[in-house]
Structure 1
Amino acid sequence: MIKILLVEDDAHKRTTVAEAILSVPTIAEDMLDISTDVADAKRKLRDKGYDLLILDIHLPRRADKQPEPGGGLEVLRWLKGRGKEHRPTYIIGTTAYDASYELAQTEFNNLIWTIIPFSFSDNAWKERLVATVRLILDQIVPPYANDGVTYRSDVLVVAALEDPELRAVLSLPLSWEEASVRFDASRYFRAKYERDECVFDIVCVAASDKGLSSAAIATTKAIHAFRPRYVVMIGICAGVKGRVELGDIVVADPSWDWGSGKTKLGTDGEEFFHPAQYQMRLDESLRALAIELKAKPDLLKPFADAFSDNKPSNTPQIHVGAFASGAAVLQSRAAVEKILQHHKDLKAVDMEVYSVMYACHIASMPRPQCIAAKAVSDFGDDKKADDYQLYAANMSARFLLEVLRTLLRPKD
């Protein structure tokens, strides 16, 4: 998604140029910010990363000053003095004044910067501007250039496997389209989520295989390519019998790798495993979101009732609690009991959650916040079966939809 800053003090010209920009397909109003003077433009450029700056050359230095020839060049010189920090990749200068145009010639000395003379008497400038913006759009594709501050998408959804988890996500009432990433053969999908006249960008991907390593790599690659504000891990897990029921959602807090530790020799000569719990915690704002959803006992009831395949009789509930991840599939009550020794409040076990949360924790800036929520498909004992995997995957996907509705709210 392109981010554009238009700096223009003249109301008539500002409206005309904005209309030209918004006439380009795929550019929406929320991609365009407006400034009317040099000082305000600097503030916006400092606070937010932009792909394209459209800069009037004849500008006032402050809102209480009169426009002056070459006033807008102060913004350009300020950007040059800051190195690459906050500098848009593409800059287009515009002016209706010959004096300002002449002053700008020496400043616009970059192959990807250009200046377009503006005129109210003909549309040559408009055709050139639209053509230039279209060309720039073709260059702004994932993996996006990173400036350390700008998020490029709103939510990245990570599924453990394509079937059944990713398939359940793609069945949600969103218009998913496959999205390509240069030099990356992984399958990504993208959709727009609309709420209260705002449009949010959702991306999803499945790991190529089960396990901690595959999930961590898939998450890291997707963060690098799409720069999401949030990462949501969904899917299926094993629950601790007596603490959760089949189909229940468990939001991980904390999460850890139950296989992390050291095998030692005891004083009796027997080997034993000494665990090392390096826990990942849920961000407090996301924990509040999870608690808000947990307080709605019938939140998932309509989806459970509508599910026509194998399903348990209980209405799925939402839990927030301890979640252990490891490299092995568990099919033994004794194995679950050993992990219970790591944390007395353990609720669920899987093979991916910890690695996804850790990948977000150490990602390069801007770093996404992560929430992991999986549905219980079995209890990790000798009765483990695949009977409820499809049901659990769908409950997890439907919970994702509730997370999106709660998390993605228009800015005040």
Structure 2
Amino acid sequence: MIKILIIDDTEDKIFRIKSVIVNNCNIPESNIDVAKSINSGRKLLCDNDYDLLLLDLVLPLQDNEEPDREESPKFIDEIHTNERINLPNQIIGLTQYDESYSELKKRFEDKMWYLVKYEQSKNDWITMLQNKIIHLRKNKESLLKSILDESKHNIGIICALPEEFIQFKKAFNKIEWEKVNNTECLFDLYSGKINTGYGNSLKIIAGCVGRPGVSATSVFAATLYNIFKVDHLFMTGFCAGFESDDIALGDIIVADSIQDYSAGKIKDDETGNLKLLKELQQIPANYELTTKINTFISDGNNIAKINTALRNVNLINERNNVKALLGPTICGPFVVTSETLIKELKDGSRKLKSLDMEGFGLYLTSHFLNKKCLWIKSIADFANSNKGDEYHNMCSYASASFLYNFIKESF
């Protein structure tokens, strides 16, 4: 909505101008400021940004003084030259004096401003003012929409750690990335486009949080949702897994729900062993996305593409293959290498597939904002004493390659 300043010292004229703006142009009165002298107007122009200035041509220097015919023309020039003044987008002079109109008409035209003869008994000035305000309002709305469209992205992608983000960009190497310049965002972000199998061109924005943890991921997710208006948000990288017959190192897990194990109470039991008394908090994944994931996984050709991509970058050999599973994940604030804690977590939910430090922040933020997201990571260890980083690159690349192919085939 546009903001308007009226500088005029005649109460009846101010009232009529405001009535036209509010009643004819649908501008709320709260968007209209009024000054009744040159000095008052100057202060408002220095302190605020206005879309439109409606300016009387004969004004007093101070409030409650008589109009000063010598100072008023000087103020017109000052508006144009004083760097402290925030120059409005449009300036319209409204005068009821014939001599002022004739004297200042050229001065206004030279500055590309408008001068209108105000006559209380006629409506010509009302029509001109109304048309100008409506035009100005529509122009601003169009500009704001253009700015929003420029920021708008279809898909957002988050990695927690730099090593994950490096592999993500390798998996998305066909995207021409450009660094995003946005003063509202403190994160380093990259934007690009991907063409899908359905003939759609999607804008993607991606970035690295730079640290593990629920809080940092939650802030990053909220940034992508609120500033860049993403429709779908994904997270890739590596995680720990719960060792079982159906899970191997390198396998890709898509979280159909994420629990938070940090809520509750941890204490020693009678034997001195660690006991976790959980207060279960679980957030399900978006049903539409998990349905698409099931369809994608069920097509063996899609998983074959991911294994081929891993071999092409020498991250797996010919005899190894990763697979993808949809299942529950649990999240907490610790790097876990405790088989005791893993057993406690598994006892609470036998179907758990994986464990990480960020996923609950992603799902919680998306839940509160009523948005769509998916956590996709690959198992790099089983959270035991053998935990190491030898699978980090392979898992980061595998989960990102899975997402790349999922987007290509499902959007």
Q: Same fold (TM over 0.5)?
A: yes
After superposition, the C-alpha distances for 1:359-396 in whole angstroms (9 at most, x for unaligned) are 11112xxx420111111111111111111110111101
Which of 223, 227, 230 pairs up with 2:229?
A: 227
Shift in alpha-carbon separation, 1:200–1:291, aligned structure 2, 3 A? same
225-234 vs 168-177, greater mean Cα deviation: 168-177
AA aligned opposite 1:319: L
Q: Which runs of 5+ in 2 are unaligned?
A: 2-22, 32-50, 52-125
AA aligned opposite 2:242: V
Tell me which residue corresponds to 2:75. none
After superposition, the C-alpha distances for 1:194-225 in whole angstroms (9 at most, x for unaligned) are 23553211011111211112211211222222
User: How far apart in 2 are the matches of 1:269 and 1:381?
Assistant: 20
After superposition, the C-alpha distances for 1:8-36 in whole angstroms (9 at most, x for unaligned) are xxxxxxxxxxxxxxxxxxxxxxxxxxxxx
Tell me which residue corresponds to 2:293. 290
Q: What is the 5 A alignment of 1:12-411? A: 106-109=130-133, 112-113=136-137, 136=143, 140=147, 152-163=152-163, 165-171=164-170, 172=172, 173-195=174-196, 196-242=198-244, 243-263=246-266, 272-298=275-301, 299=303, 300-309=306-315, 313-363=319-369, 367-408=370-411
In the alignment, is the contact (CA less than 8 A) between 1:207 and 1:214 conserved in 2?
yes
User: How far apart in 2 are the matches of 1:267 and 1:335?
Assistant: 16
User: How far apart in 2 are the matches of 1:183 and 1:312?
Assistant: 47
Shift in alpha-carbon separation, 1:271–1:388, aligned structure 2, 3 A? closer
AA aligned opposite 1:140: I
In the alignment, is the contact (CA less than 8 A) between 1:311 and 1:388 conserved in 2?
no
AA aligned opposite 1:158: I
CA deviation after TM superposition for structure 1 residue 105, in Å? 5.1
Aligned length: 294
CA deviation after TM superposition for structure 1 residue 403, in Å? 2.0
Shift in alpha-carbon separation, 1:78–1:193, aligned structure 2, 3 A? farther
AA aligned opposite 1:184: C
CA deviation after TM superposition for structure 1 residue 112, in Å? 4.4
Q: Which has the larger radius of gyration?
A: 2
Taking only aligned residues, the RMSD between alpha carbons, in angstroms, comes to: 3.8
After superposition, the C-alpha distances for 1:264-319 in whole angstroms (9 at most, x for unaligned) are 68799998431011111012111111111221345122113223146694311110
In the alignment, is the contact (CA less than 8 A) between 2:235 and 2:374 conserved in 1?
yes
AA aligned opposite 1:292: T
User: How far apart in 2 are the matches of 1:138 and 1:78?
Assistant: 20
User: How far apart in 1 are the matches of 2:167 and 2:241?
Assistant: 20
In the alignment, is the contact (CA less than 8 A) between 1:177 and 1:190 conserved in 2?
yes
Give the TM-score normalised by the residue count of structure 1: 0.62
Shift in alpha-carbon separation, 1:294–1:138, aligned structure 2, 3 A? closer
Give the TM-score normalised by the residue count of structure 2: 0.63
CA deviation after TM superposition for structure 1 residue 184, in Å? 2.9
396-405 vs 297-306, greater mean Cα deviation: 297-306
Q: Percent identity?
A: 18
CA deviation after TM superposition for structure 1 residue 104, in Å? 7.5
Shift in alpha-carbon separation, 1:189–1:113, aligned structure 2, 3 A? same
User: How far apart in 1 are the matches of 2:206 and 2:347?
Assistant: 35
AA aligned opposite 1:361: H
